[in-house]
Amino acid sequence: MPRPTRTLQQRLTEGVVVGAEGYVFELERRGYVKAGPFVPEVILDAPDALAQLHREFLRAGADVMVALTYYAHRDKLRAVGREGDLEAMNRAAVRIANAVAAEGDALVAGNVCNTWSFDPEHAVVTGRLVREQYREQLGWAVAEGIDFVIAETNDYVGEALIALEVCQELGVPAMVTFASVQPERTYDGYDYVEACRVLADKGAALVGLNCSRGPETMLPLLERICAAVDVPVAAQPVPYRTTPGTPAFESLESAAGRRAFPIELEPYGLTRFEMADFACRARDVGVKYVGICCGGAPHHVRAMAEALGRTPPASRYSPAMELHPVLGGDDPQATMCRWEREDSA
Ligand SMILES: [Zn+2]
């Protein structure tokens, strides 16, 4: 596959990179992934559905097509009885991402995540298992052609470091992000800011946070991370209304005490304009890779890309001005970046 004309580093130097994730959640809503195991069987079972979602994110302004190999590692596939499909699934996911990326000169990211195999109490033995799984997944990804790796939703610094080391062995830049599920610290006891600093010091190309937190509870941490590290920071929150009392969406509950995660989250959803506002705020605190995670859909990505000054292909069908709560008013100075803060001030 020919690689895109501009590298990740070039794009980061020139401005903000727009990311888009949330493939598993969106494909679950569309009926192609089973909630619970959340294994991306769609790669082999309905490749056109996956390609279509890539294309929608691309049209909406995403600079990166993330290969859907999240949870496509040996332990997870064994758990759903598809271990025999492991290599085919990983290779096909990267191939599909490449095919769509080429339609718009987007980058392709290989993807690994927390494996649920890692146990810091038995870091040597379980770390070996994790390393084997990352090596086989990312070995196939590199063979198919990727521009960098996103190692994400990490709960442990120990496991994140293994992902980084495997990327370094393979010679690909790594963006390493943590899922800040807990209020302050990773499950192995690092303050999230310190966790990012450790990964940056060890050579990660980007560090940051993804998933778990919505904009309101992720931004304060992002500000501290940007101040603490010398590498570009990535932020991909979930588009849900998390609060200081409930910083992670996994814990959102209805008034009756019913847990909303993962399949009853709609009442907590953020609008495209709220996500556009997040994109501006994140950029303003210094975040260089601005995206979205579980719950994100193409309309969010388009609004975020537009707020960051882009006019992606899907902007042709952006809302009619009179429907626009920001740009449809009388204020000629109105921009997506100004609206939300003034509205809540
Ligand atoms: Zn997510």
Summarised one tens digit per residue, pLDDT across range 203-240 is 999 999 999 999 999 999 999 999 999 999 999 999 99
pLDDT at 190: 98
Give the Å distance between the CA of 328 and the centre of ligand 1.
Answer: 32
Give the Å distance between the CA of 319 and the centre of ligand 1.
Answer: 26
Give the Å distance between the CA of 293 and the centre of ligand 1.
Answer: 4
Give the Å distance between the CA of 345 and the centre of ligand 1.
Answer: 29
Give the Å distance between the CA of 212 and the centre of ligand 1.
Answer: 6
Give the Å distance between the CA of 114 and the centre of ligand 1.
Answer: 12
Give the Å distance between the CA of 196 and the centre of ligand 1.
Answer: 18
How do residues 57-96 score in pLDDT, each as one tens digit? 999 999 999 999 999 999 999 999 999 999 999 999 999 9
Per-residue pLDDT band for 334 (boundaries 50, 70, 90) equals confident
Give the Å distance between the CA of 333 and the centre of ligand 1.
Answer: 34
Give the Å distance between the CA of 181 and the centre of ligand 1.
Answer: 11
The pTM is what? Answer: 0.96
pLDDT at 344: 57
Give the Å distance between the CA of 330 and the centre of ligand 1.
Answer: 37
How do residues 275-288 score in pLDDT, each as one tens digit? 999 999 999 999 99
Stretch 315-335: mean pLDDT, rounded? 82
Give the Å distance between the CA of 66 and the centre of ligand 1.
Answer: 12
Q: Are 54 and 98 in contact (CB under 8 A)?
A: no
Give the Å distance between the CA of 198 and the centre of ligand 1.
Answer: 22
**Order of strands across the sheet that contains 64-66:** 17-18, 289-290, 233-236, 206-210, 174-178, 148-154, 107-113, 64-66
User: How large a percentage of the chain has pLDDT more than 70?
Assistant: 97
Per-residue pLDDT band for 332 (boundaries 50, 70, 90) equals confident
* pLDDT of 140 above 70: yes
Give the Å distance between the CA of 294 and the centre of ligand 1.
Answer: 4
3-state SS, one letter per residue, for the chain: CCCCCCCHHHHHHHCCEECCCCHHHHHHHCCCCCCCCCCCCHHHHCHHHHHHHHHHHHHCCCCEEECCCCCCCHHHHHHCCCHHHHHHHHHHHHHHHHHHHCCCCCEEEEEEECCCCCCHHHHHHHHHHHHHHHHHHHHHHHHHCCCEEEEEEECCHHHHHHHHHHHHHHCCCEEEEECCCCCCECCCCCEHHHHHHHHHHCCCCEEEEECCECHHHHHHHHHHHHHHCCCCEEEECCCECCECCECEHHHCECCCCCECCCCCCHHHECCHHHHHHHHHHHHHHCCCEECCCCCCCHHHHHHHHHHCCCCCHHHHHCCCHHHCCCCCCCCCCCCHHHHHHHHHC
How do residues 39-67 score in pLDDT, each as one tens digit? 999 999 999 999 999 999 999 999 999 99
Q: Are 114 and 126 in contact (CB under 8 A)?
A: no
Give the Å distance between the CA of 259 and the centre of ligand 1.
Answer: 17
Give the Å distance between the CA of 117 and the centre of ligand 1.
Answer: 19
Give the Å distance between the CA of 239 and the centre of ligand 1.
Answer: 10
Give the Å distance between the CA of 296 and the centre of ligand 1.
Answer: 9
pLDDT at 337: 78
Give the Å distance between the CA of 185 and the centre of ligand 1.
Answer: 18
* pLDDT of 345 above 60: no
Give the Å distance between the CA of 25 and the centre of ligand 1.
Answer: 8
Average pLDDT, rounded, for the chain: 95
Per-residue pLDDT band for 125 (boundaries 50, 70, 90) equals very high
